[in-house]
Amino acid sequence: MKFSTRAERIEPFYVMEVAKAAQAMAREVAGTREPMIFLNIGEPDFTAPPLVQQAAERAIRDGLTQYTNALGLEPLRERISDWYATRFGVDVPARRIVITAGASAALQLACLALIDAGDEVLMPDPSYPCNRHFVSAAEGKAVLIPTTAEERFQLSAAKVEAAWGEKTRGVLLASPSNPTGTSIAPDELRAIHQVVRAKGGLTIIDEIYLGLSYEEQYSHSALALGDDIISINSFSKYFNMTGWRLGWMVVPDAMVPVVERLAQNLFICASTISQHAALACFEAESIAEYERRRAEFKARRDYFIPELNKLGLSVPVMPDGAFYAWADCTQVAHRLGVDGSWDFAFELMRRAHLAITPGRDFGTADTARHVRFSTANSMAQLHEAVSRLQRLIG
């Protein structure tokens, strides 16, 4: 069978390959004194709160299960618009908000709407692998620009200016970022956007972890920079609705009918049940619960990352959002007699029954030295993970 060159360009998603190996080992050690601990997948251990679950049940019971408009339920678009106003102090009209089948669909729609064959999109290295694959699937080319800890593993205006070429279409950023949990400093983000705007390019920014920001200086949406920002968001992370497959995008007015036409053909609409359920996310009771959970995520960060540093798993930049730790494992891997983050991850899986993610997925800039820990797990599990690491390498 002959497959398309487009499909062949898409690399394996190693996060999921490692997850499969971890699941297989978990079955082997189930019921032992050390069952598998999963710190590899970026999925909150919390599920949708009661009001959201009840809203989904109500939608099914009332027969609210048929197609919606491709742009999404109007009441949900209005709720999101209100959330931007109250949470971030930004005026985002509902007409510019498009409900999608997760942030993945939003990124796919953005890339298909804006990228032509051969267009280049600048991205930081390290960064979330699927983002560059969305660019590739649209026949574009992701250009990864190495970043450093001093830059918070984010692009700078100077690097964007230097890397811009004849084929450059724009930038695809993420703030906070996966895998580092770091955000772009507000002044730097403004400077990046000024460079891109001056060159007639596009600024696309993944803000799916924005609700899980822990420091005031980074808790601002890029949408405040202008109506030409394209922002991608999701109900998966802050709103704890991963499997519900619901997200949204905010686009310039001129882009709405283009995205609508693509969405009609590619997706018809996002899940109707999920959309009705998501209306309950913005109730005061739900928001209070999400904020309690955000505080819990912060507490996990504040405990776990200092413990990694003590063990020699150096986290060079304290994450200001999301639930990740991007740790240099070089020193510890050497002590265990292995080389590089890939072998180190499997060594931890084998000897400590601890699943983490090697850096291979996230680019090539020192990613062989780094692993990603996810702190989207209970504090009890994090304490146990630290105990096992101490016994193994302490």
- Are 361 and 389 in contact by the 8 Å Cβ rule? The answer is no
pLDDT averages per 10-residue partition of the chain, 394 residues: 87 80 90 93 94 98 98 98 98 98 98 98 96 95 97 98 98 98 97 98 98 97 98 98 98 98 98 98 98 98 98 97 98 94 95 95 93 97 98 89
pTM: 0.95
The pLDDT score that the predictor gives to residue 273 is 98
Contacts of 226 (CB under 8 A, 6+ apart): 193, 197
Q: Which domains does the chain have, with CATH numbers?
A: 5-47+286-393 (3.90.1150.10), 50-283 (3.40.640.10)
Rounded to whole angstroms, how far apart are CA atoms 340 and 365?
Answer: 13
Please give the structure tokens belonging to residue 342: 């890939």
Taking only Cα atoms into account, the Rg of the chain, rounded to an integer number of angstroms, comes to 21
The pLDDT score that the predictor gives to residue 130 is 92
The pLDDT score that the predictor gives to residue 344 is 96
